[in-house]
Each structure stands twice: as C-alpha cells, then as structure tokens.
Structure 1
Amino acid sequence: MGDGHYISAYCHVDALDHHYGIALRHDHNISLWRKNGGDVELIQVWELERFSGEKHHLRAFRDNTHFWTFVADRLRPLGLDTTDIVGVWGTPGINSVSASGGDYWRRFEEFPQHSLAHLFSALMLDKSIFDTETIVALAMDGGPDSVEDEASQRKPYYVGALVKNGKMSLFPVASTAPLWALMRQRYGLKEGSLMALAGACKAVLPLAVDDPPLIIRRRDFEKADRWFKGVTRQVEDTLSSTSGSEIRGDPLFTRKENEAAVIARLIQQKTISQTKQILAKIIDENDVTPQNTYLAMSGGLALNCPLNTALMKQFEFKGFLAPPCVNDSGLSLGLGLMRFFADEPDFRFRLSSPYLGSNGTDNLSDVIKDPTFSLHIEDISHPELETILSDLLDGPIVWFQGQAEIGPRALGHRSLLADPRDITSRDRLNRIKQRQWWRPVAPLVLDEFSKDWFEESFPSPYMLHAFQVKADKAALVPAICHLDGTARVQTLTMETNPELHEILNAFHRATGVPMLCNTSLNDRSEPILNSISAALDFALSKELSVIYADGMRIQLGAFQHHDKTATNKRARRHFKPMEEPLSAGDVHRLNPLGFSREELVLMRQIPKLRHVDHTAPGTAPRLQRLLSKLRHSFGKQPDFQFIDMYHDLQGSNTLEEALGNRQAEPVCCEADNG
C-alpha cells in the first residue's frame, strides 16, 4: 500500500434502493486517511446525517457519481480533489480511483465484516497499545449488515478478541443488544432513554426471571423473542395485581413508563451479569491479569455507560479503549484500520482527538449577512473570559466550535452549555430539546477534578461511563445528577480541548465547581447541527440569547419576528437533502415488473434473493408468494425498512426452491442498536 490519501466508506450504493428509501445500512459514514510511510493519520470522518439532516442517515447513494460528488464537496475545503484519493474500500459499487483491495477482511471471514469493523475501531485506537500490551475486546451490537459480506447471517454475529503484544485471537461472544432492540420496538424509546428511565423510575416489582438465552447467532433470536415476551407478560400481570405490599409503582410516571422501567432495569441487570461472565471466562481460560490488561468495547452496546463502568470496576482493568463513535457511525474508522492492518501490520496510528468531523457547512462571515439572521443580531464581538462566565450564569448558551466531534454524543464542539448548580438548567435544557422531564444532562468536568466529585472515577473522555456523584457534592450540582444519583461523565483535558478547558477552569475559580452541563446541539429527531446558520436558527427558535460560533460571541434578540417553524422545516433550510429520485423511465428500466417497495425490500434484505433476476416475468408471482408467507410470520409490519429478516436460504438455488423448502423465522430486532 503506497503513500497518499485513502477513503474507507460505510455506505450503500444502489439506484432503486436510493429511489425507494430502502435501507441496508444505517448511520452511513466515510473516513478520510493519509498514509506516510508507516504512519497513518485520520484526517476527517463525515457522518452523512450531519449533511443530509436525516437522523441515522439510511438512504443509499444513487450511483457512483452521486457518491464521488459528495466526497468532492468534502475534499474541496481541505485543498484536495478526487484525483488525490489513492484507494477506497468498504462499500460495493464504488469505483476506486485505484484498486480497492476488497479481501482485507476475509482473513477473519469466520466473523461478519460488520462486527470485525466494530472490533478494529476499538482495538487499534492506539496501535502502540495493541503492539505492546494485553487487550480483551468485545464487539457487541444488534447484528451485522450483509451489504458486502453476504454470508454474515450464517456466522456468529458478535466477536471477542484477546491481544497479547500484537498477537490476536478471535472468538464468538454473546450480546444482549437484541433485547434492547426489542425494548425499543415495544416502547418507542431509544436504548439510552430506556436506561435513563430505568434509573429515574422507582417502581418496585418482585420478579423471578430466568437468565435470557445467549444470543450469538441468527437462530438464537427466536429464543430471545420468546424470553422477552414472557418477561413482558409477567410484568404486565404483576402490575395488574392489586395485592402484595412489595408491588409499588412510581406515581410520577405513567403505567407504561413503570412497566418499561422495570423491564429495562431487569435487562440492564442481565446485560451486566452476562457480560461479566463472558469476561471472567476469557480471563480464566487465558491466564489474563486484568490489572495489566486493557478492556476494549465497541458496537452499539458500548454506549451503555453503566455496563462499561461496572466492567471496569469489577475487573480493575488497566485502561479502557473505545472510540467516540462506538456505534455504526464508527464503522468506516474500523474498516480503515482493518485494511491498514491487513496490508501493513506494523503501521502506526493513534486517535488523539474526538474532533475529527467537518468544520461545518458554512462560515460566519456569510451567515451574518443573511437577512434571515441580520435582523436578530444585536452584537458580534470577540468575547472576554468574564463575558463567557456571565453568559453561562445567565442561562444555556449555544457553543459551536471548530471541527465537529465524531460519534453520537456532543463532546463540546456542538453543544448546549449551562450552569450545573441550578436544577432549572436541566429542566430548561430538556424543554429546549423537547425531551422527557426525567432525562439527565451530562457533566463536562475537568479531568483533574473528576475524582473529587465522582465515586471511583477514571478518565471518560468520550462520555462512555457513569459514576456515582459523591454524597457531599450532589447538592452542589443538582442539574447533572440523575434521579438515581449517577451522572454520565465526560472528562476534559487541556490537550483535548484547550479553549473549553480554560473556560472550565475559569468557571471553577468563580464558583468552586469544575464542570458544566453539556448536551448536544439539536432538537428532537434531529442530528447534531453542523452549520452556523442551523445553530442560529435553533437559538432563535428556542429564544436563546447568546451563541458562540468559531470564537465569536453573537447576541440575539427580536425573537418575536423569527419564524419558529418545526424541526423538519429547519432541516430543509440548513441541510442538503441527498435525494436524487429516478425518472419514471429509469424506474421502469430498473424495475420493469413493477415490484412494490415492500417486495423490493424483501429482495434486498435476504442476500440469497439479491441475485434472483427480478426482471424475469416469472419472478413476480413467486416473490409475492414468499412475501405472503413472511407477512404471516411477521404479523402486521408497516415497513420492513431498517429490519434484518433472519431467514436461512442457504442451499436454495432458485426463488422457487426457497419458497418450497424454507419457513420464515420471526423478526426479532432491528439490524443494529447503535
């Protein structure tokens, strides 16, 4: 592999899938790399949702040209163009400027490419640790996609690794992530919200529940589904009982919230105990000393802060390795590192900063000339430190700084910041973001003071750990305390973010508190905002008086004259939709038999069916017969988008054989819980 710029892309390219909105991957992302000898540098990561405005961006690129046009727009501000790209990998259908080397992951092909990419994103976060230390790694999410690895559904879904001085062994592990996906489907809350609800709601329910089945392969999902349904029935029946002094609901929450909280708490307990057992087995069987070993976590389940912290405390690992983008938004990172390792095992790499997103999609000098905003701008100035402190004391401020953080959590470059000493800061932030009243906000704390405020704390630079707030400190920072007394902490060092570190130090000197409330700069159902115009629009819509953008302080007013339209309208104003619908002629050419969207989803989701000639007249009735069987098994599903269909069609050479020989298994969870 020669020197130069490379791209690893976790995307999908298909004209019909683009036109009909058929999603085979979600959280699409692209990483730009520079290789110089043995040194590899990650230049930027482009999460497509930050540009399209589509949360978890699901839509495929229409074609090769569509992909490269997007990439060219991202390269231009860096002084690069597509001719500077030496190679690209990770997404079938993209013509590389040079050979793409698609076999880089097949040396580990007993595991899905998707899960391997998760694994490598954490394992090689600091390549020197990989080369010289011992690491135990777990990559656990809802399940793999099959865009490039069509055999993924026949493999163990989740992968663990043991590394000793650069020598790596891989093995299958179990994951409880599908149980969380079932919770999301049932209650309509994301996993993080469910975990927060479990900590906030004080419902008490005495339950004797067996351990869930180990979920390792596709066939285990049916058992998991049965276990989950049994638990939900048991909880429903128990809550319906009016007898028993041990049964107590929380009057602050609805019946449905009490039910969800009890089940989420139970699944959390099972998640922690099962993962502890997995790690204990790895440690015992491989003569591992945890105190001399790093724990690496990746996949959507690694967003579970209480789990990560419980594992670190139980085993007292030497350190914790995980990228800020542990969910699918980090798969291009993992695909890139896996390819460099395959081609040049001794390469050097270290992820030194989470701020590797783009600089934004506009610039301040242009935005302030826009009549949409100029009417509301009362003052623009270079702020003094005292002014920033005064603004923080007065109320939440919008903070937009430099390159965006990568991953799903705001880490101080696209944030709302507030004073943690006032409980109304939390309440106001939740109202601004249209969130449930019980949702916590995270503390952004000076790393050097973390141990003074949180029990048994350790570095948590990417907000992936939850610590108990010390009893003598909790009353001083009520806005960051969850109802169970914990906080999801981000620790900050001078090296990582000198500007915010200086502000936190000044706030500490003024108040005695070395932290601020920090939550992401976005509204409900909206990706983190990535343009100054969108940030200004957000501030005006929420009547926030002060926004800091790229080092400047902007004082806002005349809120009554701002069009406080819905979030989806803001998305249309400040994001660039990535839809390029096909013409009627192109649709007919690609889909001459007129398959419905649902039928096309079926053909895409089952790898065996992708190679059926869907232009042959005899295909339509056969496919429709299969779809009828699937509907019967699934129940009434309004849409198959974003759902893996776990069907074993191995051995069937034709659609007719598939119809005659196989029965559909029930859908149990979405493709990933990232």
Structure 2
Amino acid sequence: MGYVLGLGGPYHHDASACLVADGRVVAFAEEERFSRIKHHRDSRSAAASAAWCLHQAGIGWSDVDEVAVAWNPYWPNDCDHIADKDMIAELLGPAARDAGGPRRLTVIGHHLAHAASAFYPAGVTDAAVVVVDGSGDGISTSIHHGTRTGLHTLREFPFTQSLGWFYQFATEHAGLGDWTNAGKLMGLAAYGRPTVDLDFLNPASCGYHLDLTGYGLPPDADHTARYSDFSYYRDLRRAYGKAFTDAGVPALPTAGDDTHRGIAADLAASAQLLLQRCLISVVATALDETGSTALCLAGGVALNCTTNGILARTPDIETLFVQPAASDAGCALGAALECAHRRGEYTVPGPRQTHTLLGPDYDNHAIETALQTAGADYTTPPDIATAAARLLADGKVIGWHQGRAEAGPRALGARSILADPHTTASRDRINRDIKRRELWRPLAPSMLDLGPWTTTPDGPAECMIVAHDATPRARQQIPGVVHVDGTLRPQRVDPDLQPAYARLLHAFAAETGIAVVLNTSFNGPGEPIVGSPADALSSGARLGLDAIVIGDYLITPPPSSSTR
C-alpha cells in the first residue's frame, strides 16, 4: 500500500497533516487540536498531527512513501524538494527524525495545494478551480483547470493584488480583530449599507484590479524583496489604514454589541459587496477560460459563505464544490492528493467529499479515564440521543462530543455546542454568556432535510459553508439560526455518517416537531475547537454549559474548573 503524508499551513499558522493511502484519505487533523493554541500560531510544526495520522493508520515512518509540504521556503526561487535537516525537524519534530522520518520533502506550490484540495475531492472530471487567500508563495489568487490529467494553472495574481489581505485589513479597521476574525466582517455586513466608496479596488475584465499607488504601493512595482521579511505587509497595513480613513471611515475601536448600528457595519457591507463583485468576476473569467460548468473553490476567502451562496445560485454553475477546510490547514489534504495523483495512486474522478470527519475519536475506555480524572458525575442513559434531545427541548445548552473530529473551522456535529433554534434566546445566551462575544454574531443549523427551511433545498449543504435563503417557515419557526439578512448556513446531516447525531435530530423532532438544532463550535474565546474528552470537560466547565455528552456518557452539570 502506498502512503503519502501531506503537510499544510507552514506559514507559522494553521499547521496540519493528512495521510492518503492508495489515493484514499484515511486521516486528517489540524495541529491546533493537539497544541490547544488557536490556529497553532507562531509555529510551523505539524509534529503532533503527523504522528497521529501515522498512528491512526497503524504505520511507522518507514511505511511512508512520500511527504509533501504546501510551501516553498525558498520563494521566489523554484524548489522541488526540501532536504534541510533543521527545517524538516522544525516541521515534523525531532522525534520523527529519530524514528527514521523523511530525509526530504516534496514541495507542492501553496496555491496548487489549495487547488488540489478543492478539485480532487469534488467528484468531477472537468472544473474551473479558483483559489483566493491572503498570499502563499507570492500568489494571492489563482485560476486552474482541473481535468482527468490533473490541474493546469491558467492565471496567477501576485501578492500585491490580494483580496484576502483587503478583507483582512477591512476587518481590522472595523475594530473586529486580526485576520483570524474575518468571519466577523461577513456577519456584520448584513447590518450595514454599502455606502463606503472603496475606489482603489475594482472588478475588471480579467478578474479585478487593486491599485494603492496613492498610498505609496503601486501595484506594478517590484515588491518581491520585501515580501519574505514582512516589510511589504506592514506597509500594506498602513496603506489600507489611510485608504479606509480617506473613504470616510476612521480606525474604529474594538467591536462591541452596538457595532452593528454604526459605520463599522457600513464598512463591512461595502467590503463584502466589493469582495463579492471581484470574486464573481474572477469566477466568470475561470468559467470562460476553462469552458467548464463545475466550479471548485479553496483558500481562506472561500470560507465566505455569503459569496458562496451567490455562486451556488449562478445559472452558469451546474456544480459547486467548496473545500470545507478551505484555509491553509486544507493544504495538507491538497498536497497529499496532488502527490498521490502524480504517483498514479489517485485517479480523476474520485469520490465526492461529503464530510470532514477524519480526525481522532475516542473509545469508552479513553472517555471513562477522562471522566474519572476530572472527577465528573455522569450517567449512561439507555439512549443518549433521546436524553440529549430532551435537554435541548427544555432549553438547555449542551456540549456534544461524538466520533471522529471534524477538520476545518466548522463544527459539524462531532465537536459541537447545541441548542434549541425555536427562539433567539438560546442564540443570544450562547453569544453573550457562553462564547462571550458580540450578540450580532449568527449561528448555524444542523438538519436532516433542507426542504422546509431553504429556498434551494438541492444546493450544497454538507458543511455549513454555503449560505442559503431561508424560507418564511424558517424565519418563523427557527429564528435562532436565521441571520438578519434572511439567510442560514445549513448542515444536512447524513444518518449513515453520523448515526448518533441523526438520532438526536429525530428525537428532537419528536419533542418539538422540528428536526433542526442550533449548532456552533465547541470552544471558548480564543481557543480551538475541543479535541479530546478532557478538552470537552475542561472547556465545558469554563463555558458554563448545562450538560455535556461524550459518546454514551451524559455529564450534568459539567465539573467546575476547581475540580479539574
């Protein structure tokens, strides 16, 4: 059996590892779930996630045929392999080296890895593939043509044309935080009016054009030397600060519950609308140049659910696939699949990816050990799904930890916080008291059937990454998961993949009449989604959840922080 290990996110954030066996993905996990550092910031190491992937498959380093990394550390110079011992040790840890780990790594270009993560799992033979992010290996946007023979790059936009950085700095200027908070800008946009004139960025015939010449950064100048030392990035932050201020928006204080009423919301609406127009133009170019009716998306900007919803309803697009782990973490998946395709171990089309449940799971022994260590009081109800559904119907907010962990930023019923969506009260309690964040932040639903709830029930809805228009019934009966703009980001639950979660939805329907629950990620402010049962117990205690379900075990109430 041929094993390929992919490594993603080595730009000092979002490190990850993915193992592919004979072209089949068998394990995929993000380093943050092990290190407990959000986005695994300020480290390139993927040591824990790589070691877990090998353990999951029951293999050692001697069984791995190739390790591929989605990063060229020598850019702008070409590089096919990394043989630097210290760099390999930084990525995989000294333990891997001592255990006979790889002596060299195959380099897969960053945007090519993103593109591979979107095309190969899409289940199609021909597609336009668009990647949009901040920047990787000097590229910010790229267009590719995916065919049976693989990926062929058609266009690349340099880092000086970054839509991801534009959106990021708009987020910062609006007082919403750094690049990790771009999703807030998307949510806030629904409360504002697109009245801010951001005339330095415009859609164009080839996609779009960004011109910050008036702020000291002409797009045609050679900024290559200042890319790797981050001096260009620092100058770009200052340029955007001046550009947004000149557009009539002063730098705003840290966001609060009233942010949605002011000019920050108008900036968010303006930036969101401009991003949408530019992306629609890029996609039109991609479809025209490939002649395809299938579209695949990846890169951090592909996490913009609002834009994805617009694209999903575009008549020229018959098939839309958005990689659920669209950020740099997903590059581990793409690097591994691209490498496997080159080796002849992966053929197009492969099966369509319908879930991200590829991370660690825990048996009853591991769960009971965590419960005993935490001093938790627990029961084992005859039917854990029915017991959980009754708690939700009673208005309780619970943590739900089941099966293999999700990859990507969306909790999809494996590591989730769940509540009743019938009213906005549970949503507001989660935002205000549990997540301790702005009240205007939207939350998403998990459901068995989209038919009653969205106007596009056949649209992509596996991973909460595409916005749908809510039906009048949804607005009336599940307002806790309908955003102010009348959209929702649904997850359609597959009972074959998540039997316990599906049983919970059926049981909740028996209690309330609807098979929909409010679902948000099981984590607190500034922490990654929980990984292990111990993580769930400690996080649940800090957050003040009413109960936690871990496997077949019900903990009510969770142990207090003083008992951990």
TM over 0.5: yes
Aligned equivalents of 1:303, 1:385: Cα separation in 2: 30
Aligned equivalents of 1:217, 1:437: Cα separation in 2: 43
The structure 2 residue matched to 1:265, chosen from 269, 274, 298, is: 269
**2:308 is aligned with 1:308:** yes
**2:169 is aligned with 1:182:** yes
Secondary structure of 2:265 counterpart: helix
| 1:402 CA displacement | 1.2
The structure 1 residue matched to 2:27, chosen from 44, 64, 67, is: 44
| 1:509 CA displacement | 3.9
**CA deviations over 1:35-77 (Å, ceiling 9, x no partner):** 2xxxx11111121100111111134468xxx94x774465446
Corresponding letter in the other structure for 2:114: H
**2:130 is aligned with 1:135:** no
Which residue number corresponds to residue 235 of structure 1?
A: 248
| 1:410 CA displacement | 0.5
Aligned equivalents of 1:381, 1:511: Cα separation in 2: 20
TM-score by length of 2: 0.80
The structure 2 residue matched to 1:369, chosen from 367, 372, 380, is: 372
| 1:226 CA displacement | 4.8
The structure 2 residue matched to 1:10, chosen from 8, 11, 19, is: 8
Distance 1:522 1:218, change over 3 A: farther
Which structure has the larger Rg over C-alpha atoms?
Answer: 1
On the 8 A contact 2:257/2:439 being kept in 1, the answer is no
Which residue number corresponds to residue 183 of structure 2?
A: 192
Number of aligned pairs? Answer: 499
Secondary structure of 2:372 counterpart: coil
| 1:123 CA displacement | 0.7
Distance 1:169 1:225, change over 3 A: farther
On the 8 A contact 2:61/2:102 being kept in 1, the answer is no
Aligned equivalents of 2:329, 2:526: Cα separation in 1: 17
Which residue number corresponds to residue 124 of structure 1?
A: 120
The structure 2 residue matched to 1:439, chosen from 441, 449, 463, is: 441
Which residue number corresponds to residue 258 of structure 2?
A: 253
Which residue number corresponds to residue 295 of structure 1?
A: 295
**2:45 is aligned with 1:53:** no
Which residue number corresponds to residue 210 of structure 1?
A: 199
Which residue number corresponds to residue 329 of structure 1?
A: 329
For structure 2, the residue ranges without an aligned partner over 5 or more in a row are: 72-81, 89-96, 203-208, 211-218, 224-231
The worse-fitting range, judged by mean Cα deviation, of 162-171 and 481-490 is 162-171
On the 8 A contact 1:11/1:60 being kept in 2, the answer is no
| 1:287 CA displacement | 4.3
On the 8 A contact 2:393/2:508 being kept in 1, the answer is no
Corresponding letter in the other structure for 1:453: W
Matches within 5 A, 1:268-417: 268-288=272-292, 293-344=293-344, 347=347, 349-350=350-351, 351-359=353-361, 363-370=366-373, 372-374=374-376, 377-383=377-383, 385-394=385-394, 395-417=396-418
Aligned equivalents of 1:325, 1:238: Cα separation in 2: 31
Matches within 5 A, 1:441-590: 441-446=443-448, 449-457=449-457, 458-556=459-557, 562-563=561-562
Aligned equivalents of 2:101, 2:250: Cα separation in 1: 61
**2:120 is aligned with 1:115:** no
| 1:342 CA displacement | 2.0
Secondary structure of 1:453 counterpart: coil
Distance 1:210 1:223, change over 3 A: farther
**CA deviations over 1:318-366 (Å, ceiling 9, x no partner):** 2221222110111111111111122227636433531001125992121
Which residue number corresponds to residue 623 of structure 1?
A: none
| 1:183 CA displacement | 1.9
Distance 1:73 1:135, change over 3 A: closer
Aligned equivalents of 1:338, 1:295: Cα separation in 2: 18
Which residue number corresponds to residue 86 of structure 1?
A: 65
Corresponding letter in the other structure for 2:366: N
**CA deviations over 1:414-458 (Å, ceiling 9, x no partner):** 001111002211011112011111111101121xx3132112341
Corresponding letter in the other structure for 1:54: I
Corresponding letter in the other structure for 2:386: E
Which residue number corresponds to residue 205 of structure 2?
A: none
Distance 1:185 1:516, change over 3 A: same
| 1:115 CA displacement | 1.0
C-alpha RMSD of the superposition: 3.2
Corresponding letter in the other structure for 2:163: T
Aligned equivalents of 1:230, 1:60: Cα separation in 2: 32
| 1:300 CA displacement | 0.3
Corresponding letter in the other structure for 2:14: D
Aligned equivalents of 1:254, 1:346: Cα separation in 2: 48
Which residue number corresponds to residue 660 of structure 1?
A: none
Secondary structure of 1:459 counterpart: coil
**CA deviations over 1:473-522 (Å, ceiling 9, x no partner):** 31211111212222122222223322212221332344232211000000
Distance 1:178 1:411, change over 3 A: same
On the 8 A contact 1:360/1:530 being kept in 2, the answer is no
**CA deviations over 1:149-180 (Å, ceiling 9, x no partner):** xxx33xx4321112355465322255521111
For structure 1, the residue ranges without an aligned partner over 5 or more in a row are: 13-23, 106-112, 145-151, 240-250, 565-572, 574-674
| 1:223 CA displacement | 8.5
Aligned equivalents of 1:87, 1:459: Cα separation in 2: 33
Aligned equivalents of 1:336, 1:33: Cα separation in 2: 6
Aligned equivalents of 1:483, 1:162: Cα separation in 2: 37
**CA deviations over 1:377-430 (Å, ceiling 9, x no partner):** 153434354322211112111100111000111111000111100221101111
| 1:84 CA displacement | 2.9
Corresponding letter in the other structure for 2:489: R
| 1:254 CA displacement | 4.4
Aligned equivalents of 1:285, 1:61: Cα separation in 2: 36
Aligned equivalents of 1:28, 1:413: Cα separation in 2: 21
Corresponding letter in the other structure for 2:16: N
Aligned equivalents of 1:136, 1:277: Cα separation in 2: 13
